[in-house]
A and B are shown apart, each in its own frame.
Chain A
């Protein structure tokens, strides 16, 4: 149907305002619910990094259980890029993250900022027998969109105790295996991010199978770009935390 320009403009304006109002209304009405869901989801992702080592079945946990573990066993810390710990007030004065808490740091936002002004979250998990795990967050690019992960380190700051990955839009069965296939994150357990001479090596995802048992894991067939993304994200992301590790080791 051909209409005059005035009709077209009015029609488009009415349609877009109806749509915008509807979406804004739904977004506002459910905001709280969505935020709680998201917070629990993030907490689960963090706990997943230590799950194999401490024997958690994170997927079967109820919301209450996740919250209580998080409150009782997890300490949250925020560092700047020089490895200096920041109090929640200091964090709030830099960027408006809820409560200045590490769990509310938006890694997607941080990734877009210049490297020297980013904030680094760290979660210290207190396991049985005073065993501590240091969980750090990394973020990079996959084939389609961003990928990210939480890496749990033992208290030597060298050995990986576990890892969990997630992604925004990788292909199911290929790149999405970094999250869906428990074998992939589990293969990081026991790998070392420093070599014997103490130089930073990170852990690489090797296409065709790992050759170095300490610093490489097997790739995923058909998902080279995502796997390279994981390697890059680990090498760059863990390196940010080096000053923190160095300070903690010297203590």
Chain B
């Protein structure tokens, strides 16, 4: 540092939305997708993607927690002692989740009831801690916020795509459990929520395999296949 040319310090203002900043959002959607490339957040992807609606709720919750925990960790990054950094990160995540939980409990009890099931899954979602560890601990707050947003979106996109396939073929519906429930294919099977009659592909028998967690693994595997065929620079050469 000492032998660099000491010009009078003119701080060049960094643009808010320069190329680098835009990349922070777009990278996780493609080249550096949290699920299909970084292999983070698989557990929750297996647990909630049986239906589209819980996946949507989960995606929104994770984006929220990810953005704010990235921001807070980045603000505190120079003060966090290395020896206890994991505990500190988890305290930040758990506190944020609890604040969200309390707010919803006081102002929107129905949403709270829907979300409370996922609280454990959000805290243990490795995307959040993974991004704190890999990015927020060593970057400025604004960049960390964008990184959180980008990764949250990338995660949510895969989550909803997997859920669309699983719900459509496993139950024949879309958005079951919410107000916007639609029955898409198949005759009316026994275990259908608010079945609306539909004759589209009436011969279709909902495939129970799709409901099992194993199906999510197959679908994500196939997504990775498609993703890498289309974007060959991600192919595993090892």
Using CB atoms and an 8 Å cutoff, list the residues of chain A in contact with chain B.
Answer: 1-3, 7-8, 11-12, 15-16, 19, 22-23, 26-27, 30, 33-34, 37-38, 40-41, 167-174, 176-177, 180-184, 218, 220-222
Binds A, one of B12-20, B73-81, B151-159: B73-81
Q: Mark B184-214, 1 if CB is under 8 A from A, else 0.
A: 0000001111100000000000001001100
The 8 Å CB contact of A34, one of B98, B106, B117, is B106
B40 to chain A, nearest CB (A): 20
Whether A222 lies near B193 (C-beta < 8 A) is no
Query: Known contacts being A22-B95, A168-B117, A171-B47, is A30 close to B80, with CB within 8 Å?
Result: no
Whether B51 lies near A172 (C-beta < 8 A) is yes
Asked whether any CB of chain A lies closer than 8 Å to the CB of B6, the reply is no
| Distance between Cα atoms of A167 and B48 in the complex (Å) | 15
Whether A169 lies near B120 (C-beta < 8 A) is yes
- Interface magnitude class on chain B: 35 or more
Q: What's the count of A-B pairs with C-beta under 8 Å?
A: 104
| Distance between Cα atoms of A11 and B167 in the complex (Å) | 47
Whether A176 lies near B117 (C-beta < 8 A) is yes
Asked whether any CB of chain A lies closer than 8 Å to the CB of B22, the reply is no
Whether B211 lies near A37 (C-beta < 8 A) is no
Asked whether any CB of chain A lies closer than 8 Å to the CB of B99, the reply is yes
Query: Known contacts being A1-B78, A38-B109, is A15 close to B91, with CB within 8 Å?
Result: yes
Q: Which single residue of chain B is at the shortest CB-CB distance from A19?
A: B95
Binds A, one of B59-67, B82-90, B229-237: B82-90
Whether A222 lies near B82 (C-beta < 8 A) is no
Whether A34 lies near B105 (C-beta < 8 A) is yes
Top 4 closest A-B pairs, CB basis?
A173-B50, A30-B106, A37-B109, A172-B54
| Distance between Cα atoms of A7 and B91 in the complex (Å) | 18
Query: Known contacts being A1-B78, A176-B117, is A8 close to B109, with CB within 8 Å?
Result: no
In the complex, chain A residues whose CB is within 8 Å of the CB of B113: 41
Known: A3-B82, A22-B95, A173-B54; 4 extra A-B contacts, CB below 8 A, are A2-B82, A40-B109, A168-B117, A181-B192
| Distance between Cα atoms of A144 and B103 in the complex (Å) | 25
In the complex, chain A residues whose CB is within 8 Å of the CB of B116: 168
